[in-house]
């Protein structure tokens, strides 16, 4: 007999119940079973499951649909379970990242039977590990219709502030060639490492932009993150490779970002290594603007890459909004102010009702 979740518990107590059912990545099964069972008991929801991802939705025929999503897994437990509640602060693995958000999502799924937009609740597996295991990515590939919506909220910890979109990222190698020779007769060769000098100079002089996209400021960066060359202490090297990482604002596609890098290194061999798209915050869309107005506060840009980009790739603008200080995520002393969990529930409930 597995754990039975009580969706009538206040969100902080439900958070503690979710955390105490430990679910490090790859071991979400018992928690996914409990979430599925709890949601199947809610009369106004249709429930689907794929692996350890559970998707529940209303089907009220509303003109718009929104997604509330959260991952069920955590990083490994570090002797910080079971949870402890001390002076309004809940301590333990998962309290920040991100079972407070999951508790809020479950409470709203059970207790908002007539939202003004249809709502799809997504509780997914394997967010804290390699991208190819990510449950949201798997559903996006295999069941994209489950995620179709006008707007999505990823309930990752954001200290109850709206964090919109994210920068994209790509890496290239700039390949430099020369002519090998014995270093005693260096004038017979051409040094590929010396040829990297002007490349590094361009990087040092580069002025990264800060771009405003849908009202939020995204700070770009173009940086060398690696350099290699040379085969022996007495050989003029004929090869050198400079690895460059470009963090680009979500006003650009991956192809446009690559074009920009090729322009910066005009005249050099530039080879694409890998790339991941950014995500626009979409705050210019009425459905997103209504969200920001309902939850309040000043939205800010998300700096790192997050799963909001998976929604953006499906044409669904998405933001991060959830309880907990993101700087405490994954920490051994992970803890959340329970008042923040309640604030998020109250504001999201108000949003779904307007």
The residues binding Zn ion (CB under 5 A) are 97-98, 156
Cβ-closest residue to Zn ion?
97
Give the residue carrying structure tokens 């446009």.
256
- Residue 354 Cβ, how far from Zn ion at the closest point, in Å? 27
Residue 3 φ/ψ, nearest 5 degrees: -65, 140
DSSP per-residue letters across 283-343: TTSHHHHHHHHHH-S--EE--S--THHHHHHTT--EEE--SS-GGGTT-TT-EEEHHHHHH
Q: Cβ atoms within 10 A of the Cβ of 133, count? A: 16
Residue closer to Zn ion (CB basis): 156 or 251: 156
Whether the Cβ atoms of residue 192 and residue 268 lie closer than 8 Å to each other: no
- Residue 195 Cβ, how far from Zn ion at the closest point, in Å? 43
* Active-site annotation holder among 28, 36, 52, 127: 127
Residue closer to Zn ion (CB basis): 125 or 156: 156
- Residue 128 Cβ, how far from Zn ion at the closest point, in Å? 7
Whether the Cβ atoms of residue 196 and residue 268 lie closer than 8 Å to each other: no
Whether the Cβ atoms of residue 294 and residue 347 lie closer than 8 Å to each other: yes
SS3 (DSSP) at 135: helix
Residue closer to Zn ion (CB basis): 281 or 323: 323
27 in catalytic set: no
Helix-, strand-, coil-residue percentages of the chain, each rounded to 5: 30, 30, 40
* Active-site annotation holder among 28, 36, 52, 73: 73
Residue closer to Zn ion (CB basis): 97 or 163: 97
254 in catalytic set: no
Supply the residues annotated as catalytic.
73, 127
């Amino acid at each position: 007999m597995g754990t039975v979740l009580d969706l009538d518990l206040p969100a902080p107590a439900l958070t503690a119940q979710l955390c105490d059912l430990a679910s490090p990545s790859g071991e979400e099964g018992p928690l996914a079973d409990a979430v599925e069972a709890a949601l199947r008991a809610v009369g106004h929801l249709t429930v689907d499951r794929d692996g350890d991802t559970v998707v529940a939705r209303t089907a009220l025929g509303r003109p718009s649909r929104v997604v509330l999503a959260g991952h069920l897994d955590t990083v490994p437990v570090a002797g910080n379970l079971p949870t402890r509640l001390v002076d309004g602060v809940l301590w333990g693995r998962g309290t920040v990242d991100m079972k407070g958000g999951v508790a809020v999502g479950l409470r709203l799924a059970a207790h908002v039977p007539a939202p003004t937009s249809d709502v799809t609740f997504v509780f997914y597996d394997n967010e804290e590990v390699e991208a190819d295991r990510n449950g949201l990515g798997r559903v996006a590939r295999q069941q994209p219709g489950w995620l179709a919506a006008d707007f999505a909220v990823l309930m990752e910890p954001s200290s109850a502030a709206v964090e919109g979109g994210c920068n994209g990222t790509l890496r290239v190698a700039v390949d430099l060639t020369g002519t090998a020779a014995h270093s005693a007769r260096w004038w017979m060769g051409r040094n590929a490492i010396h040829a990297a000098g002007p490349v590094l100079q361009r990087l040092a002089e580069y002025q990264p932009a800060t771009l405003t996209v849908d009202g939020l400021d995204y700070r770009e960066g173009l940086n060398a993150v690696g350099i290699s060359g040379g085969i022996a202490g007495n050989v003029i090297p004929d090869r050198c490779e400079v690895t460059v990482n470009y963090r680009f604002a979500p006003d650009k596609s991956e192809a446009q970002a690559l074009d920009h890098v090729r322009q910066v290194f005009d005249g050099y061999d530039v080879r694409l290594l890998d790339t991941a798209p950014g995500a626009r915050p979409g705050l210019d869309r009425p459905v997103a603007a209504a969200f920001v107005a309902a939850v309040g506060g000043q939205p800010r840009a998300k700096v790192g890459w997050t799963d909001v980009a998976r929604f953006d790739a499906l044409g669904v603008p998405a933001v991060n909004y959830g309880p907990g200080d993101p700087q405490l995520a994954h920490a051994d002393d992970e803890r959340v102010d329970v008042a923040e969990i309640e604030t998020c529930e109250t504001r999201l409930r108000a949003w779904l009702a307007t």
